[in-house]
Amino acid sequence: MRHPARLGIALTIALATAGCSTAARDGSRADAESATTASVTSCGSRLSFAGPPKRTVALDQTSTETLLELGLQDRMAGTANLKTKIPAQYESAYAGVPVIAPKIATGEQLRAAGPDFVVAGSADLFTKDRAGTREELAALKVPAFVSAVNCPQRNPAGRTPFELLFSDYENLGEVFGVQERAGKLAAGQRAAVAKAGESAAKAPRGKERPTVVYLYSVFNGMPYVAGRTGLPSEMSRIVGAKNAFDDVNEDWPEVSWEEVAKRNPDFIVIGDLSERGRPGDSAAEKRAAMTGHPVVSKLAAVRDNKILEVPGIELDPSVRSVHALGLLAEGMKDLGYVR
Amino acid sequence: MRITAEELSWSVAGTPVVRGVSADIAPGETVGLLGPNGSGKSSLLRCLAGLRAPDTGAVRYDGEPVRDWSARRIARHVAFAAQDPGADSDLKAADVVGLGRTPFRDRWHGPDATDRAVVAAALERVGLTALAGRSWKALSGGERQRAHLARALAQQPYALLLDEPTNHLDVRHQLELMELLTGTGQTVLVALHDLSLAARYCDRLLLLHHGRLIASGTPAAVLTAERLAGVFEVDAELTTDALGHPAVTYRGPLGTPAEASRPTP
Amino acid sequence: MFLFLLAALALAGSVAAATRIGTSGVGWAGLARVLGAHLGLDVEPLPPLTDSLIWDLRLPRVLMAALVGASLAVCGTVLQAVTRNALADPYLLGVSSGASAGTVTVVVLGVGAGALGVTGGALAGALLSFGLLLLLLRRTGLDSGRIVLTGVVVGQLFTALTSLVLMASADADTTRAVTHWLLGSMAPARWDTVVVCAIVTPLGLVAAWLCSNALDGLAFGADTAASLGIGVRRTRMLLLVVTAALTAVAVATVGAIGFVGLIVPHGVRFLAGPLHRVLLPYAALAGAVFLVWTDAMARIAFAPREVPVGVITALLGVPLFLLVLRKRGEL
């Protein structure tokens, strides 16, 4: 049932948004704290703000960490859906933020938190059976932000996942009026990506490019590895390696150990998820699974211990991903792929 | 009401079950339908009750063909009771009898005073008034048969068609039920297995064999030793009992293949 | 009649109480203010987000639970009479699975979008599963003892079809959403789906209720029913279509919730007796109350986590299913 009144509100917002978008662009030069209006596009929706949000709810861990990295803990009214532990650098800031749901937040939990802004890493948290749709929230004057990284169909073609990640920082900086800090963060991470890319220039090219398998998790004895659409594929490109499962059009496809052996990668990256704490999550367990496998244990990469360990959570796009990228670039050097 | 069958044939999946049966049941008559298992008794009964549409031939009630009658209209004329149906119902005895009022009720209304009075009278008639509130599951076989008869009576039909209502009943209950039936003064067509019982209570008998009507008439005329040998494959003797009804004494089955091949001791 | 009013009052009370409890306590006064504000009375409305929590999410959800509970209980009652089997239930007979397969096909393949398309797909699926059930039972008849076994087989087939459609063409997000929905959850209920249900459910209930005499008559088999003037084949078809429609509308919105159609009719028969004229309205009310409270339990029992309501009904339903089997001497 559509409420005429509510439809009216939505229309008003839409009109106001149209009016504000130019104002926002003009106001981008203004001082961070004095910004009164802001307007950004997020995954196909135009969001507009009368002032910096004061009660933001982050619906998942990546958005939570991004907001904490931007120093916005005082503007947060809640977090939800923690996949693993919050890293040490955010712990004290995180402690002050209420957890509205340990798992995926429901529409009731979200509304009960009284948010004026909602941020999520992906659009699939905004469904009727979860937090409610973005349209419903818009009608309540609660803009819903979705990370550009998980919005493939709405993004301009050709932008790398890292560029999309940085655009999130800049957009959030705009919304909260902390452009400067967001700009610094983006610039710093851009530099880190560029630095990691330096090794690519010195790595072998063409057919000589080292291939890599990312072992994310082992569930029911089956390995989950990085496919083409996930961030590791892009990370490999940056550091001058090639993801051995680039032919699989998924983020984290489940494959067989035999298939891993068949791809015979030059080196292997293990995602350490020990902080998540489920069976098979630690790097040691994943190592054991490979050395214990009759075929995989015979692979040169396993035999010669050409195995890197990175925090598994950093292999998904987040504010921490450049850290894993750095580890990867270092690892390439240590393994002797960079001349 | 007069029920007429004209050259009635009915088959199932291409196998003829009732073959060209013509019969006439006069108003007020009690007619027994006899025949061995699979002779087509039940099917003929269902054709006459309007539950099966005959392939050829016609069923007439008081001369009027019923082929195009609605189920409801037929139900207001004849009542039918199947062989011990519905063993697992939670209904009360009175509710079961109340089902007989279905053809007189519309969808919107529950039972009215008339319905209740008719049900009470029917229960009274079969002597079940005391058990009216008892669950169907808790009724004995004899009580269930009587309840079904009461249900049929509650339909206030012009004719009763019953399929082996004495099945599973002990002798006393068989006799009671037959007394009840003949005491209604209704037109009654009843399929029976017990030849003596049929001879004792029916005005006329119809004898079916392989779907054909091979004899009809008074019990004495229909029940002959030759017919029993030909139709039921039994060696029987017909006598007259103390009350003057034909009585059947069985000497044994006639030489069936099993009998013939059995080694003599 | 007095008892029926009492039951109706119990439902109204349950709806009010279940609307009150949940994530944030609003209290009776808050509830009254939400209702008052939306009914255009001169009361001070709650803050927009709290108002939305109650009016946009919880109230439609509780009403949906009531409507779906009534639907499923009536479907179970009708199917049990039509099949003369105490274990019949849209879930066990595979009708819910058929409706699920229809819904998933529409959602995933995108044929005929919109709420109407989804409901249509569910209806097509439900009718298809009924058709298959009738086809498989054409020799033994619908009141065969084998109906539950056959129903389970049909259900499995449609479950497999659902998985196939998902594997073949859905992306990870759709698969995730559909899998959650298949377990049965009231969370996606909104006013637009409540309105569809609020139209179809009462129509279905009245249609079933108008067949009360026939449902009673069927207790003694098709021949006896027909001899009472009931158009058995036509009534059966009508009732199966009504059941399919009620199940489809429920499944299209809140997924396949099992065992409501099994538990409720059995409980109500004890109180209201087996005559459908009385049994059906009570079953509808009891089903509504039952699902309102099971859904409330699903919301609050493991708070802040929410359990799919289908999980709770199954937890309650399976022991009863075994009890009925045992009573029938099949276990």
Min mean pLDDT across A104-118, B250-264, C14-28, C123-137 is at: B250-264
Pick the CATH number of A4-177 from 3.40.50.1980, 3.40.50.300, 2.40.40.20, 3.30.200.20: 3.40.50.1980
Alpha-carbon distance A153 to nearest alpha carbon in chain C (angstroms)? 13
A310, A271 Cβ separation under 8 angstroms: yes
- Quick one: pLDDT band at residue A118, thresholds 50, 70, 90? very high
Helix (H, G, I), strand (E, B) or coil at A314: helix
Min mean pLDDT across A40-54, A280-294, A323-337, C109-123 is at: C109-123
Task: Name the helix (H) or strand (E) containing C152.
Answer: helix C147-169
Could you tell me the pTM of the whole model? 0.86
Residue A10 has pLDDT above 60, yes or no: no
pLDDT at C118: 83
The domain tally of chain C equals 1
Q: Is C18 domain-assigned?
A: no
pLDDT at B265: 43
Residue A228 has pLDDT above 60, yes or no: yes
The secondary structure of residue C302, as a DSSP letter, is T
Alpha-carbon distance C185 to nearest alpha carbon in chain A (angstroms)? 8
Question: Quick one: tokens of C25?
Answer: 């306590």
**pLDDT tens figures, C67-98:** 999 999 999 999 999 988 888 888 888 999 99
Q: Which residues pair with A310 in a beta bridge?
A: A271
- Quick one: pLDDT band at residue A6, thresholds 50, 70, 90? very low
Q: B91 and C277 in contact by Cβ < 8 A? A: no
B50 CB neighbours in chain C (<8 A) are: 227
Nearest CA in chain C to B133: C273
Nearest CA in chain B to C234: B71
Alpha-carbon distance A132 to nearest alpha carbon in chain C (angstroms)? 8
Identical fold between A4-177 and A204-334: yes
Q: Give me the mean pLDDT over the A40-55 stretch.
A: 92
Look up residue A112 and give its amino acid: A
Distance of alpha carbon A291 from alpha carbon A286, whole angstroms: 9
Q: A128 and C188 in contact by Cβ < 8 A? A: yes
Cα-based angle B27, B32, B34 (whole degrees, multiple of 5): 145
pLDDT at A282: 87
C113 burial via Cβ count (<10 Å: 0-12, 13-18, 19+): exposed
Q: B107 and C231 in contact by Cβ < 8 A? A: no
Q: C229 and B74 in contact by Cβ < 8 A? A: yes
**pLDDT tens figures, A170-200:** 999 999 999 999 999 999 999 999 999 987 8
Q: Does C52 touch chain A (CB under 8 A)?
A: yes
pLDDT at A158: 78
pLDDT at C193: 87
Q: C48 and A141 in contact by Cβ < 8 A? A: yes
B153 burial via Cβ count (<10 Å: 0-12, 13-18, 19+): buried
pLDDT at A22: 35
**pLDDT tens figures, C283-313:** 999 999 999 999 999 988 887 788 889 889 9
Q: Is C258 domain-assigned?
A: yes
**Strand bridging mode A117-120 / A222-225:** unpaired
Q: A107 and C53 in contact by Cβ < 8 A? A: yes
Name the CATH topology of B3-222.
Rossmann fold (3.40.50)
Which residue in the set A100, A111, A129 is minimally distant from C50, CB to CB? A111
- What value does the CA radius of gyration of chain C take, rounded to a whole number of Å? 20
Q: Give me the mean pLDDT over the C229-247 stretch.
A: 93
- Name which of B68, B83, B90, B155 to mutate to probe chain C: the one with the most chain C Cβ atoms within 10 A of its Cβ: B90
**pLDDT tens figures, C196-210:** 899 999 999 999 999
pLDDT at A201: 83
Of the candidates A137, A100, A57, which has an alpha carbon nearest to the alpha carbon of residue C53?
A: A137
The secondary structure of residue C46, as a DSSP letter, is P
For chain A, give the mean pLDDT. 86
Q: Is C38 domain-assigned?
A: no
- Name which of B59, B76, B99, B161 to mutate to probe chain C: the one with the most chain C Cβ atoms within 10 A of its Cβ: B99
Q: Does A146 touch chain C (CB under 8 A)?
A: no
- Quick one: pLDDT band at residue C65, thresholds 50, 70, 90? very high
Per-residue pLDDT of chain B (265 residues; tens, 9 = 90+): 999 999 999 999 889 999 999 999 999 999 999 999 999 999 999 999 999 999 999 999 999 999 999 999 999 999 999 886 666 778 899 999 999 999 999 888 889 999 999 999 999 999 999 999 999 988 988 889 899 999 999 999 999 999 999 887 889 889 988 998 998 888 999 999 999 999 999 999 999 999 999 999 999 999 999 999 999 999 999 998 888 888 899 998 887 544 444 444 4
B18 burial via Cβ count (<10 Å: 0-12, 13-18, 19+): buried
Task: Name the helix (H) or strand (E) containing B3.
Answer: strand B3-12
Alpha-carbon distance A234 to nearest alpha carbon in chain C (angstroms)? 20
Q: Does C23 touch chain A (CB under 8 A)?
A: yes
Which residue in the set A109, A114, A127 is minimally distant from C304, CB to CB? A109
Distance of alpha carbon C177 from alpha carbon A106, whole angstroms: 14
For chain C, give the mean pLDDT. 88
pLDDT at C328: 66
Q: C229 and B105 in contact by Cβ < 8 A? A: no
Residue A11 has pLDDT above 50, yes or no: no
In sequence order, what DSSP letters do the residues of B146-184 get, joined into one string? HHHHHHHHHT--SEEEEE-TTTT--HHHHHHHHHHHHHT
Of the candidates C108, C255, C109, which has an alpha carbon nearest to the alpha carbon of residue C182?
A: C255
C77 burial via Cβ count (<10 Å: 0-12, 13-18, 19+): buried
Do B and A make contact via 3 or more CB pairs under 8 A? The reply is no
Domain with residue C211: its CATH number is 1.10.3470.10
Which residue in the set C48, C53, C190 is minimally distant from A108, CB to CB? C53
pLDDT at C115: 66
pLDDT at A29: 40
Higher-pLDDT residue of B198 and C171 is B198
A111 CB neighbours in chain C (<8 A) are: 23-24, 49-50, 52-53, 57
Which residue in the set C212, C220, C275 is minimally distant from B86, CB to CB? C220
* C-beta atoms surrounding C25 within 10 Å: 9
- What's the half-sphere exposure (Cβ side, CA atoms, 13 Å) at B261? 3
Residue C113 has pLDDT above 70, yes or no: no
Min mean pLDDT across A165-169, B67-71, C273-277, C306-310 is at: C306-310
Distance of alpha carbon A293 from alpha carbon A285, whole angstroms: 12
Q: Give me the mean pLDDT over the A40-58 stretch.
A: 93
Domain ranges within chain B, ordered by starting residue: 3-222
Alpha-carbon distance A107 to nearest alpha carbon in chain C (angstroms)? 7
How much of chain A exceeds pLDDT 70, in percent? 89
Min mean pLDDT across A273-277, C2-6, C53-57, C276-280 is at: A273-277
pLDDT at B260: 44
Higher-pLDDT residue of A56 and C50 is A56
Min mean pLDDT across B70-84, B146-160, C174-188, C258-272 is at: C174-188
Q: Does C34 touch chain A (CB under 8 A)?
A: no
Of the candidates C42, C174, C183, which has an alpha carbon nearest to the alpha carbon of residue C100?
A: C183
Residues of C with CB under 8 A from a CB of B: 84, 86, 210-213, 216-217, 219-221, 223-224, 226-232, 269, 273-275, 277
Assigned CATH class of A204-334: alpha beta
Cα-based angle A149, A244, A280 (whole degrees, multiple of 5): 80
Q: How many CB pairs under 8 A join B and C?
A: 80
C210 CB neighbours in chain B (<8 A) are: 107-108
Helix residue spans in chain A (DSSP H): 4-27, 61-69, 88-95, 107-112, 134-139, 161-176, 179-202, 231-239, 257-263, 283-291, 300-303, 321-334
Residues of B with CB under 8 A from a CB of C: 46, 49-51, 70-76, 78-82, 85-86, 88-92, 95-96, 99-100, 102-103, 105, 107-108, 110, 155
Domain ranges within chain A, ordered by starting residue: 4-177, 204-334
Nearest CA in chain C to B79: C227
Maximum C-alpha span of chain B: 71
Q: Which domain holds residue C79?
A: 64-327
- Name which of A2, A128, A229, A316 to mutate to probe chain C: the one with the most chain C Cβ atoms within 10 A of its Cβ: A128
Q: C49 and A140 in contact by Cβ < 8 A? A: yes
pLDDT at C230: 94
How far is CA A115 from each of CA A57, A73, C58, rounded to the nearest angstrom? 6, 14, 18
Q: C52 and A111 in contact by Cβ < 8 A? A: yes
Residue A30 has pLDDT above 70, yes or no: no
Distance of alpha carbon B93 from alpha carbon C1, whole angstroms: 23
Alpha-carbon distance B157 to nearest alpha carbon in chain C (angstroms)? 11
Predicted ipTM?
0.89
- Total residue count of chain A as it appears in this document: 339
Cα-based angle B183, B184, B189 (whole degrees, multiple of 5): 100
Of the candidates B176, B173, B205, B175, which has an alpha carbon nearest to the alpha carbon of residue B189?
A: B205
Residue C111 has pLDDT above 80, yes or no: no
Residue A1 has pLDDT above 70, yes or no: no
Residue A237 has pLDDT above 50, yes or no: yes
Q: A108 and C57 in contact by Cβ < 8 A? A: yes
Q: Is C238 domain-assigned?
A: yes
- Portion 168-207 of C in contact with A at CB < 8 A: 172-173, 176-177, 180-181, 185, 187-188, 190-192, 194-195
Q: Give me the mean pLDDT over the A71-91 stretch.
A: 92
pLDDT at C331: 59
Higher-pLDDT residue of A32 and A270 is A270
